[in-house]
Amino acid sequence: MSGIAVFGGTFDPPHKGHLRLLKTADEKLHFEKIFVIPTNIPPHKQTKELADGRRRMELCRIIFGGDQRLTISDIELKREGKSYSYDTVKYLRGLFPDKTLYFIMGSDMLLTFDKWYKSEELEKMIVPVCLSRSNGDTALARRAAKRFNAVFIEASPFEISSTELRKAAARRDTGTLKKYLGEEAAEFIIKEKLYGLRLE
């Protein structure tokens, strides 16, 4: 059976680290199709200044674009309310009943997988793909991967986070934005005045 990749997240903003994780998983599993899905309201995070869905969708197109297999999907944004992976996977399972659904996540998310909404039902519909992004949690992540029958992939850590990039935008650190997002995404953030950007 061919595999479909599901890569969800707040993506606020998406950056080259997210792209690297996706490419690392793809190099191992060779996906037939890839769905990148920005979350509407993440159930596991408190986000006071989440950029709106339209802008995060556009940033995802800029960061992840260029692969014909890839779809930037607004299914969680259209659903509104909290975004539960179970609902998204159930929808995709209906579209692709004969395909394996690989659900890409960081090791931190897999460690709390049993606390997700309808986790036992979700586990039956997907193959989790755990990307371990730091040396410190590798042993824990390996044990969790075995417990949840996940594919475990070691990925080199990325040196910046979305939180740090939002802070860089707020202080108009265009050098950092261009380094970790690329020029087009950085210019989009500046143009749209995202993340409390201070204008000169």
Is residue 167 located within the same domain as residue 133? no
Is residue 179 located within the same domain as residue 148? no
Is residue 95 located within the same domain as residue 138? yes
Residue 109: what pLDDT? 87
Is residue 176 located within the same domain as residue 152? no
* Model confidence pLDDT, tens digit, residues 177-190: 999 999 999 999 99
- For residue 43, give both structure tokens: 């159930």
Is residue 150 located within the same domain as residue 166? no
Percent of the chain with pLDDT over 70: 92
| Residue 47 confidence (pLDDT) above 70 | no
* Better-scored residue on pLDDT, 44 or 68: 68
* Model confidence pLDDT, tens digit, residues 73-89: 999 999 877 889 999 99
Q: What is the DSSP letter of 82?
A: B
- Residue in 13, 41, 156, 30 with CA at minimum distance from that of residue 102: 30
- Residue in 141, 155, 165 with CA at minimum distance from that of residue 21: 155
The mean per-residue pLDDT over the stretch 21-31 comes to 95
Which of 158, 175, 192 is at the close of a domain?
Answer: 158
The mean per-residue pLDDT over the stretch 154-176 comes to 90
Binned at pLDDT 50, 70 and 90, residue 200 comes out as very low
Binned at pLDDT 50, 70 and 90, residue 129 comes out as very high
Q: Which residue range(s) make up the domain with 182?
A: 160-200
Q: What is the CATH number of the domain that holds 63?
A: 3.40.50.620
Between CA 111 and CA 25 the distance in angstroms is 18
Mean pLDDT, the chain, integer: 89
Is residue 63 located within the same domain as residue 130? yes
Is residue 154 located within the same domain as residue 167? no
Is residue 122 located within the same domain as residue 141? yes
* Better-scored residue on pLDDT, 132 or 29: 29
* Better-scored residue on pLDDT, 143 or 75: 75
Is residue 100 located within the same domain as residue 165? no
Is residue 125 located within the same domain as residue 172? no
Contact assessment for residue 131 and residue 155, using Cβ atoms and an 8 Å cutoff: yes
Is residue 143 located within the same domain as residue 51? yes
Percent of the chain with pLDDT over 90: 70
Is residue 25 located within the same domain as residue 92? yes
Binned at pLDDT 50, 70 and 90, residue 1 comes out as very low
Number of domains in the chain: 2
Residue 155: what pLDDT? 83
